[in-house]
Amino acid sequence: MSTRSSPEPIVQSPPNGLSIEDKQDNDEEAEVEFLHTPSPSILCPVCHEVCREPVITNGCNHSYCASCIYHSIEIEPFCPLCRSRIKIEDLHPNLALAGLISELLVYCTNKKYGCPQIVRQDALHGHVLYCSYAPSVCPNKALGCPYKGTMRDARDHLQNCVYERFKGYIESTNKRFEKLESLIANQARDIEKLQRIIRTGKGTAFASENNTKDSSLSPSSSSSLITEGTDGIHRRGSSSGSTLGDTRRTIVSTFPHDEITCHRTIASHPCGVTSVAVNHDRVFAGAHDGSTKVFDINTGQLLKDSKGHTMSVWGLAVMPSGDRYFSAGSDGTIKVWDWLKEDEESCLVRTIPDHHAKIYGLVIYQGRLYSASSDKTVKVWDTETLECLATFQGHTGGVNSLAALTEASANQLVTGSSDKTIKLWDVTTGTCLKTVRRGTSEVLDVAVGDGMLFGSTYDAVIHVYDLNETKELGTLSGHNWEVWQLEYGQGHLFSGSFDHTIKRWDPRRFQCDLTLKGHKSFVHGMALAEDCLVTGCADRTIKIWR
């Protein structure tokens, strides 16, 4: 019988310079084949596979994979077998079941390459680490050698490898190419400097001339926005463009007002993405495995991969400087990261365990960090000393989301809760200014902008309120499942849903004018930047929309 398993990623140091073959299916976990068919009593009732990290419920004593039951509870707080109401706090590790599973006999995962070994499941990782049947590639693969085989056969191949004989010549030739590429790059920078000098000398005359020519341009008559700058005419938020005459003229799409498409998909996660944040040209992402990653938004390159949380990361907040960020999640802790430090251990500045339950949201506002938790509180932190300055209390259910009013003089924070209310708080005093009551559905997320307050509820509806009078103006309907993500900017509201879609709304007309499709599972995270929208999904991907 074959089933999924959860062995740690294997990193070998092969002898004689041999290389382990690159993993072919990064999105699929290695299958483990058991010697005997496992008993149904050790199978997870949700996925019907052998339990991974088994947990047992406190009341009804049913056992599940940890990831399966956590995900199930997020959708509805009931036991999938008996429908008893359960919470995260009701789940505990099933050590007895974990012990039984670890003793099961399994075949080596390299059986298909010829390995005959049978070992206990808890010894599988150690065996595979040194298995001579592990798939291998030639160490000269980077030079072009196409060989693929096992570790034991690769030794013989290396003695007759043509690329091994000509390695010195190939490497010296590559170095010459690298030097030439470096020389070309330096010359390109010098040319750009000269062009900038030329533009500076002619920029004023060119701008004056084109002010007359382009005076008829407007958002309604053109799909692009042209603005003036010190170097002539350029677009906001971009440095690329086309040359006109002696001066570069650059045009930008009017995001988020026109058509929006997916410009990039980042697929570097082995599990679902649960939260995202954007700072300048960096994307920060949290995941179900407790990791946080940092990517270059323009190239999709992974810049940092940190593991600190033991469970899903639901909240991310980045300091304006971009060098420090905060993460929080199901383990009830806030972690502080200085991600630019090269040493992995020194990147984690501190772990703050003050909350007593899952943390769903983080916001940095006026130099303070605010955290929303299912322990029914919002806590305020000094971003420098990391001291807890205050605790906002008033909700009778878990706080699922929070948002800050962007106006500098507002000094207000908005929270949405499972107690079916939205509250407005004075951040200077910690007092609740107003409470908006909303029917019978839990409030999942909130957003504010242009005098409006938005709240999404468990019934897949988005409610629109007048922020000053807290009077409901109308509702936005169109999603099929719960809406867990709201972002407002430049006159548009974006919503991310468990129905796998993102919608753009005109809130003043109460209409959806665009639906973004492409994700294949729940949209867990969403962040709106000046020139793009970033979404994170349970399908293990991050998408950049422009």
pLDDT reported for residue 7: 42
Sequence-ordered list of residues with C-beta below 8 angstroms from that of 308, at least 6 positions apart, any chain: 290, 291, 292, 327, 335, 337, 348, 351
Asked if the model's pLDDT at residue 26 lies above 60, the reply is no
Least confident of 20-29, 357-366, 383-392, 490-499: 20-29
pLDDT reported for residue 408: 59
Q: Which CATH superfamily is domain 271-545 in?
A: YVTN repeat-like/Quinoprotein amine dehydrogenase (2.130.10.10)
pLDDT confidence band for 180 (50 / 70 / 90):
confident
| Tens digit of each residue's pLDDT (9 = 90 or more) over 223-247 | 333 333 333 333 333 333 333 333 3
pLDDT reported for residue 407: 73
Least confident of 147-161, 355-369, 449-463: 147-161
pLDDT reported for residue 218: 37
Per DSSP, the residues of 337-404 read EETT-SSHHHHEEEEE---SS-EEEEEEETTEEEEEETTSEEEEEETTT--EEEEEE--SS-EEEEEE
Spell out the alpha helix ranges (H) of 92-245. 95-102, 124-129, 151-160, 162-165, 167-213
pLDDT reported for residue 226: 34
| Tens digit of each residue's pLDDT (9 = 90 or more) over 318-341 | 999 999 999 999 999 999 999 999
In 3D, which of 32, 27, 33, 56 has the Cα closest to residue 44? 56
Domain boundaries, the chain: 2-165, 174-253, 271-545
| Tens digit of each residue's pLDDT (9 = 90 or more) over 253-307 | 578 988 999 999 999 999 999 999 999 999 999 999 999 999 999 999 999 999 9
pLDDT, the chain, mean: 84
Asked if the model's pLDDT at residue 23 lies above 80, the reply is no
pLDDT reported for residue 367: 92
In 3D, which of 306, 396, 317 has the Cα closest to residue 348? 306
* CATH fold for the domain made of 2-165: Herpes Virus-1 (3.30.40)
pTM of the model: 0.58
Asked if the model's pLDDT at residue 191 lies above 50, the reply is yes
pLDDT confidence band for 185 (50 / 70 / 90):
confident
pLDDT reported for residue 201: 58
